[in-house]
Chain A
Amino acid sequence: MHREIELGERRRGAGKTREYTMRRLGRAVSGAAVAALAFAMAPVAHAQEKYRPPVSELEVFIAEPMPAGFGVQHTDVDGPVFVDAKGMTLYKWPLKDLRNGDTGDRKAKEPFCAGVKYTENSGLMSPYPPGLVLPELDTRPTCEQIWPPVKAAADAKEVGKWTILTRHDGSKQWAHDGMPVYNSILDKVPGQVFGATARETANDAPALREPAAPKSNVPPAFNVKTVATGRLLVNHVGFSVYTWDKDQANKSNCYNDCLKDWTPVQAPQTATAQGEWGIIERAPGIKQWTFRSKPVYTRVQDRRFRSMEGSDISGWHNVYTQKNVEPPKGMFTVQDARIGQVLADSTGKTIYVYNCADDALDQLYCDHPDSPQVYRMAICGGNDAARCVKTFPYVIAPVGAKTGNMIWGTMWIDPITGKRAQANQQGALHVWTFRDRPIYTHAGDVKPGDTNADAWGEFNGYRNGFKAFWLRDDFLDNVS
């Protein structure tokens, strides 16, 4: 059975959105280059994790040799990440094409994040020219002060994909797969991933860092995508994978009419089961993958990558290698909006996150309370702090509130300066945070489901602006 499907895909760092028209075969093995061999090595010993996200299942990754003391840490929303000997998250800074040039680290080259204190913008982002003096120069840090390089000892030896690069000052820095790795000063304890996220962002986002991470332990027919609700399992093309409540452990009951709507993800003849991945023979010679003992399928009517529409059908569920931790209980709701679902506060007002990185060559973040607030003030209040707080109010958290995880938290904020405050500071607000950054609502949202401040800001909210906390998007790609 053949079916024409019109798709949309957006690639990290790509210049434009692409569309592909694909032909999907109902009975052939998915993918043109499915490897036939076992896809993972037996795990090797690594540093014991210092934090366990409060979720029922954790993603299994492909272990690999690492420098002494390095390890892998499961995180709340970014899956497993590499950590150094102290258990602190490692990040990399891939080269990215911006509108007027590129910046970031180049593979296997001298790390670009160095000790230069930039004083002017680079003009990499149109339409503003370069040479404008950056704010708060007195306290502006260098790149390596914000992103400390993970240094290698003089006698360190390269191992596996871990190599050693020479920095500008002659010191040595670890790199994974050619990309220098760094810590973030925002991460204070193991398990925190406050520096950057594994989620993709739109094309005109800044040159962002991302967590350095091991590969997910999935067969070549599959992939794992970080979305707003967790680490979503998709097939190698990008279509969502589903399980069915009416299947039993390692037994499919989807035959005949069921196959009109659901396509078993077939396993090649030479594939073997391993770990969480099993293989069942649904018909002589026809094999199907199972994940955690559940047969997996794609949905015939899915038009888009990473769809969640199949989960609307009773008994069918998207599959996650690891779901995200929940927001604080009783404090947030989910609301239907014009393209899907958003996270909202307890009254139904949409939650927004604020994104910002400056346009100096080192692209330092400006969306954290410890960074200059003038960027946010321009967008949220037209450079008027009082209007800013009125237009994008903070989301107040009860004093003493605990979240039980790393990604959700609280902090005291001075609403006029936007900076951190002491608990006993007059006028300070105790607010909810996500990724150690305050979240907001919008005064222009009148009823539950309103998302009027989505894409509010420079470059549709990705460079210096606000994005709604989308949980589901059936039309666009706001959850990737």
Chain B
Amino acid sequence: MKRLSTLAMATAAAACTLAIGVGNAASPDTSTSVKDGTIGFVLTSRYWAVHQSPEGKVECPKGFNDGPREQFSQLFPNDGVKRTLLETQLMREGRQWFPTTSEEPFTFKDAGGKVSYGMVLDGKVKDSDFTSPDGAKGIDNQMYRAMGCISNYRAPEGTIYHFENEYVGRYVHNRFMIELTGVDSLINDDEVTINSYRGIDPIMADATGVQFIPGGTQRVDDRWGKFVRATWKGKIVDGVLISEPSDLTLPASATFDTNGLHVFKGLRFQLKLTPDRAEGIMAGYVDVEAFNHQLNTSWSTHHQSYGQLSAPSMYRAMRRLADGYPDPKTGEMTAISSALLVKFIRTNIEHPPRATASNEPAAPQAVQTLRR
């Protein structure tokens, strides 16, 4: 794992003051939450980090991007000409599933402006970087340029903005947890380890059913969720967890029984910790092909239309803006810097019994009878 540069660490520390509730952040008392140096958190909220000025006038001075309906109308206007399904709908759907980077007859509006949430991922300050709302320079979040002027990703009414966050809590498939071990203090600790897991339980909520509360229990999904496992080294500085990068496959299910994934390379955490909550940023490089795949298998063209999201157009933008992990053969960048605004709540993570020869699950076998 790449160690953070001095610059990156300093930047991360300076950029940690996001608008998050810090409650009892100053409390040094971790004894009730940290047990044997361990504390667990479950993800309850997750948004792509899209910094918005009022009505988007700063970042989207030319307005917002067109979506599938608008593009369809531009290509095939209602002019009385009879057109076939094959040359219109099926052609467009084909391009949805096999996008290219060839020029298209639509103008894509990147998000402009200088300010974005995120983290310094490459240890550098470049012209293309952003400045955080708190003034930290070198913020890497080119995904913001790709999605910032797409209504679907903008608060508060963006469909994907709203529902993907709702699904974090609603669908157990998305139950993402981190467990910190080696914790001596939630205020300052030179070395902690972070492990990620998928849970299999609903998140404990209050009487409203929508406000999640700390202290519930999550069993680790040891059977189907091994793909979520990852490990980070990190430290806690003035109550902020800062980690080194590690790859992560994040469950990202939407509705209609989809079970998509986001593939992050070099993901790192920057989370303000309290005994009951962890809030802040997860940032890393999103694999462009994987992101596009998750988008299309989770949200139909119809749903993408709700917020004027043209997947083929966004794909082109992501490929153009990609700034990480060059393809070893072509040199073309395959991943794009990105950031998620996240909230976690404390949970008791229950690990399965240690596997032994007697309880090791059987290897997959030919179908005889699915004996139940």
Contacts and interface: CB of A to CB of B under 8 A. Distances in A.
A82 B368 CA distance: 29
A336 interface: yes
A134 B259 contact: no
Contact of B89 (A132, A338, A455, A478): A132
Contact of B85 (A132, A343, A471): A132
B369 A326 contact: yes
B173 A132 contact: no
Nearest to B90: A378
A311 interface: yes
A213 to B, nearest CB: 23
A320 B372 contact: yes
Interface stretch (B44-52, B92-100, B272-280): B92-100
Given A475-B172, A475-B253, A476-B171, A125 B302 contact: yes
Interface residues of A, number: 79
A131 B84 CA distance: 9
A475 B173 contact: yes
Interface centre among A320, A329, A379, A463 (most CB of B within 10 A): A379
Given A21-B209, A125-B302, A334-B370, A460 B297 contact: yes
B367 A133 contact: no
A126 interface: yes
Interface of B: 68-69, 72, 78, 82-86, 88-91, 93-95, 97-98, 170-173, 200-202, 209, 223-225, 227, 251, 253, 255-261, 293, 296-298, 300-302, 305, 364-372
B167 to A, nearest CB: 10
Contacts of B259: 338-339, 451, 454-455, 475-476, 478
Given A99-B302, A127-B302, A383-B91, A452 B293 contact: yes
B302 A326 contact: no
A296 to B, nearest CB: 13
Interface in A115-173: 121, 125-129, 131-135
Contacts of A317: 371-372
Contacts, number: 179
Contacts of A132: 83-85, 88-89
B300 A459 contact: yes
Contacts of B251: 338
Instruction: State the majority secondary structure of interface residues on A.
Output: loop
A382 B98 contact: yes
A464 B302 contact: no
B364 A335 contact: yes
Interface in A332-346: 332-340, 343, 346
A455 B298 contact: yes
Interface of A: 6, 8, 10, 16-17, 19, 21, 99, 121, 125-129, 131-135, 202-204, 229, 303, 308, 311, 317-320, 323, 326-327, 329-330, 332-340, 343, 346, 348, 374-375, 377-379, 381-384, 387, 448, 451-452, 454-464, 471-478
Contacts of A8: 170-171
Interface centre among B86, B170, B364, B370 (most CB of A within 10 A): B370
Contacts of A456: 97, 296-297
Interface centre among B68, B86, B172 (most CB of A within 10 A): B86
A135 B172 contact: no
A401 to B, nearest CB: 16
A133 B83 contact: yes
Nearest to B255: A17
A456 to B, nearest CB: 6
A18 B172 CA distance: 15
Given A127-B68, A308-B372, A476 B88 contact: no
Contact of A458 (B170, B172, B301): B301
A379 B85 contact: no
Contact of B97 (A129, A379, A472): A379
A338 B227 contact: yes
Contacts of A463: 300
Given A337-B224, A339-B173, A460-B298, 15 more contacts: A133-B85, A326-B369, A333-B364, A333-B366, A334-B367, A377-B90, A379-B93, A381-B98, A382-B95, A383-B86, A448-B364, A459-B302, A471-B370, A475-B224, A476-B173
